[in-house]
Amino acid sequence: MTMRLSTLSQVPEAMRPGYDPAAQGTGIVHLGLGAFHKAHQAAMTDAAMAAAGGDWRIFGVSLRSPRASEELAPQNGLYTLVEKGAETRARVIGAISGAACSAGDPAPVLARMADPAVRIVSVTVTEKAYGLDRAAEGCDPSHPAIAADLAQPEAPQGVIGMIVRALAMRRAAGTPPFTVLCCDNLPDNGRLLRGAAVDFARRTDPELAAWIAAEVAFPSTMVDRITPAATAETLAEAARLTGCDDLAAIETEPFCQWVIEDDFPTGRPAWEAAGAIFTERVADFEAMKLRMLNGTHSMLAYAGFHAGRAFVRDVMADPALAALVRRHLAAAAATLPGIEGIDTAAYAAALAERFGNPAIAHQTFQIAMDGSEKMPQRIFSALADARAREVDCRAFAFATAAWARHVSGSVHDCAPYELRDPRAGALAAATSGKDAAGIVDALRHAGFVSAAVAGDDAFWISVRNILAEMLARPMAEVIAAEAQMAAG
């Protein structure tokens, strides 16, 4: 019988962190203790401590479900990271010093966040959890977590409410603020989070709002590592590699990238020692990644899921879909400003290779979730620049039609599914029972796109024509015809 992982002495020496975790203090609280954090920021922080030390262990917090903390607590925060590429490698991460769930009783987590030893609060909660009003660069008071926290700012449940409350506690105690590090796939994510936090505070305590605006750093970041949800096979593989049972194991690809704006007034780990890039041009890297990786991901997820392709690697094994992936990558690249030292053609080729990784089972349905929160920065912002640069917009029209096909809930050539989107109800109401013209008209004016994109008649005619095909014929046929057209 194998033993549950709980101390490093149980695992082979080569898989242990290159430092003694118990000798390092906690300097980071992370909100959103999911697979992505464990594969990305925690792994990079682990490598940074191995290279350069520092009291930078992480206290991990889930805002809703206690599952992640319950898995990690009996393991003293240790978990196995399985990297799967041409070879499979396992290493045990020691960066997480403790974990908790804040739902129900946020006080213990707020006390952690107010601790002067904590100098960074990092966040990965997915796009929809913030309650952002992106157009106004503030918070959205109609978002459930924002509404609840504005009504009860001392007992917050949501991420903005937690951050603002903890900052208020630090200010009252005369403790310098922590740096807030947003690690979600949003454009200019630091600025968006700052705008939401300041706006939230303004509604409850204007002096606090002014202090946050003047004193708190919100560096922007671009994060990248393809990390599927862990499965029973992930846990079995971790046990086989380490010799220990590990309920918190995760798997990921070998590639890992982190581009960060260097604005940490109270210090930071030596993430550069782990390969992070510090630059003032994060927004350019972010646009490249959102439009090329994530935009193509969304397109292939909608088209692939409806063509019966369960995983991204299956999409890449289908020559017609793979051709549309390459077309989308090239179209997205053509919308971008250049970044010194970055060759977008090489980046596109590397992305196609990563998507095709046969060892990674990344579900198209998982990527298809929350499209209303993803499409604006992945597809519609690219479209706006495509027009300005006279780039052919067919790839963006195809991606938009595939999304429309998904939100319309039409299942004529795939198994029934439940639309997973924070605006699922509104999307279903806007699209159900309509033909392609009606669906496109509803989506165009539903507030997902800027006025300029909404007014682009030629684009929406193209979306309508592709969607009409997608509603009339099996998706695989539409994809084959589209790939042939793209080739010709």
Question: For binding to ligand CS2 (CB under 6 A), which residues are involved?
Answer: 185, 224-226, 293-294, 297, 366-367, 374
Minimum CB–partner distance for residue 259 and ligand CS2 (Å):
12
Q: In angstroms, rounded to a whole number, what is the distance separating the alpha carbons of residues 29 and 34?
A: 14
For 81, the enclosing helix (H) or strand (E) is: strand 79-84
CA-CA distance, 375 to 382, in Å (whole number)?
A: 10
Q: Please spell the DSSP secondary structure of 199-256, one letter per residue.
A: HHHHHH-HHHHHHHHHH-----EEEE---PPP-HHHHHHHHHHHSEE-TT-EEE-S--
For 144, the 3-state DSSP assignment is helix
Distance of closest approach, residue 367 Cβ to ligand CS2, in angstroms: 4
| Closest separation in Å from C-beta 384 to ligand CS2 | 20
Instruction: Write down the number of H helices and E strands in the chain.
Output: 23, 15
- The rounded distance, in Å, linking the Cα atoms of 112 and 162 is 11
CB of 297 to ligand CS2, least distance (A): 4
Cβ–Cβ < 8 Å for 239, 246: yes
- C-beta closer to ligand CS2: residue 301 or 443: 301
State the Cα–Cα distance between residues 286 and 34, nearest whole angstrom: 21
3-state DSSP assignment of residue 138: strand
Question: ∠ at Cα 452 (451, 456), nearest 5°?
Answer: 115
Nearer to ligand CS2, 294 or 372 (CB): 294
Q: Which residue is nearest to ligand CS2 (CB)?
A: 297
Nearer to ligand CS2, 103 or 369 (CB): 369
CB of 7 to ligand CS2, least distance (A): 32
Q: Of the two residues 279 and 366, which places its CB atom closer to ligand CS2 in the complex?
A: 366
377 vs 408, beta carbon nearer ligand CS2? 377
Min separation Cβ 97 and ligand CS2, Å: 25
- Nearest to ligand CS2 of 284, 456 (CB atom): 284
Q: Of the two residues 297 and 394, which places its CB atom closer to ligand CS2 in the complex? A: 297
Q: What is the DSSP letter of 75?
A: G
CB of 296 to ligand CS2, least distance (A): 9
The residues that bridge with 82 in the sheet, in sequence order, are 90, 251
